[in-house]
Chains A and B, each alone.
Chain A
Amino acid sequence: MSVEERVKRIIADQFRVKPEDLKPETSFTKDLMAESIDTVELLAALEEEFGFEIPDEDAEKNQTVGQAIEYMKRKVAEKEKKGG
């Protein structure tokens, strides 16, 4: 599964929506009605899936599904580069 698919699946699980309904512009707070405390678990679920920590400072900047996917892609690429 691609990073994009994995991120979408986790977001979909957390907010109980279908992955195919998540668009890049889907906003966590406006469209998914995320309360700030829901994002704590979303973050933990992403960390659990990808195996690295996501600082709150970074998380605050990702307001849409598209931004979160791009962020995770970048982080995964950085980790691979470091690891390899």
Chain B
Amino acid sequence: MQVIEAIKEKARREKRRIVLPESGEERILRAACQASAEGVAEPILIGNEREVGAQAGKLGVSLGGIAIEDPSASDRLDPYVREYLKIRSGKEVTEALARRILLKNLYYGAMMVRVGDADGMVAGAATLTASVIKAGHLIIGFQEGIGTPSSFFVMETGNPEVGEGGVLIYADAAVNPDPDPEQLADIAISSARSARALLGWEPRVAILSFSTKGSASHPLVDKVIKAAEIAKAKAPSLLIDGELQADAALKADVARKKMKDPGPVAGRANVLIFPDLNSGNISYKLTQHVGGARAYGPILQGFAKPISDLSRGARSEEIAGVIAIVSVLAQSILPESGQGK
């Protein structure tokens, strides 16, 4: 079974409410319809009910059973404005300004997630990644102990010798161009949490480099070593190791050859953390196009509640897949702190 099918199966078992702020996009309407029909989520569209209905009619898409939330007509707007002023207390934000911001679908959607009127948000079909991240940062905030949002890909390689039966998580291949050691540690911890929440794995996180445990010395290697130290100190219960080369991370025989004591991660890593966006983005594309792997993502991570970006060109089926992924992530928020449902 494809990974995405397993994820959809999991999503169906405990449906979550996923808010979609971009109801003006045809692909979003089709994806909402598909997600609802497949039973992987209860989509909530943000927009004017009449306009959304008219567009759906034109497209021949049935929105039966899908909630439509209109910020300007909603009783929720006033309490949301009060909540916004609370978040930004000390910033002297006026009520008019808060109202203007919340009348924007993206921020309204994020607020629905914050206060629990929705469980997750998917946006980005017609919105900049930076804007989705900004809305998440401003309204939802970060997970405990995390200060840097990032993203991950699920890579389905078809090679059962690596990762978790051939499936791996790659991060960060889309958001942070040149993370410092603290940021890289955050990416490692967030990715471990994502792996656990989405795929139910015991994450084994390798922070990658061109060196394995001192086989090379260079400031670029030092950054990775520092990141591994920070990550281990911040999340002592997680299995994190670095610096490791990709082969030492993935192959047990190579790990044994290169290391005296490979430990629980080396040779059997299922989460790969790349030292920067060059290596992360290039690796995911090579794995996909040279290795023939399927790639799902980028999915945002690090926020207190799950939200995700979409690539601008995402097709409606792909968007429906992301809705299922965010739905599953919403089933267990902050698994480490035991707050998961």
A residues touching B (Cβ–Cβ < 8 Å)? 36-37, 39-41, 44-45, 47-48, 56-57, 60
Chain B residues near A44 (CB-CB < 8 A): 97, 100-101
- Cα-based distance from A57 to B127 in the complex (angstroms): 9
Given contacts A45-B97, A48-B100, are A40 and B138 in contact (CB under 8 A)? yes
Given contacts A36-B134, A47-B100, A48-B100, are A41 and B128 in contact (CB under 8 A)? no
Contacting pair A41 B130 (CB below 8 A): no
Contacting pair B128 A60 (CB below 8 A): yes
Chain B residues near A47 (CB-CB < 8 A): 100
Q: Kindly state whether residue B137 has any CB partner on chain A within 8 Å.
A: yes
A45 CB to closest chain B CB (Å) equals 6
B residues touching A (Cβ–Cβ < 8 Å)? 88, 91, 93, 96-97, 100-101, 107, 127-128, 130-131, 133-135, 137-138
Chain B residues near A56 (CB-CB < 8 A): 127-128, 130-131
18 additional A-B residue pairs with CB within 8 Å, beyond A36-B134, A36-B137, A60-B130: A36-B130, A37-B134, A37-B137, A37-B138, A40-B101, A40-B107, A41-B88, A41-B91, A41-B97, A41-B101, A44-B97, A44-B100, A45-B97, A47-B100, A48-B96, A48-B100, A56-B131, A60-B128
Contacting pair A40 B134 (CB below 8 A): yes
Chain A residues near B128 (CB-CB < 8 A): 56-57, 60
Chain B residues near A60 (CB-CB < 8 A): 128, 130
Closest to B137 in A: A37
Chain B residues near A37 (CB-CB < 8 A): 134, 137-138
A23 CB to closest chain B CB (Å) equals 24
Closest to B93 in A: A41
Chain A residues near B131 (CB-CB < 8 A): 56
Chain B residues near A45 (CB-CB < 8 A): 97
23 CB contacts below 8 A, A to B, read A36-B130, A36-B134, A36-B137, A37-B134, A37-B137, A37-B138, A39-B134, A40-B101, A40-B134, A40-B135, A41-B88, A41-B97, A44-B97, A44-B100, A44-B101, A45-B97, A48-B96, A48-B97, A48-B100, A56-B128, A57-B128, A60-B128, A60-B130
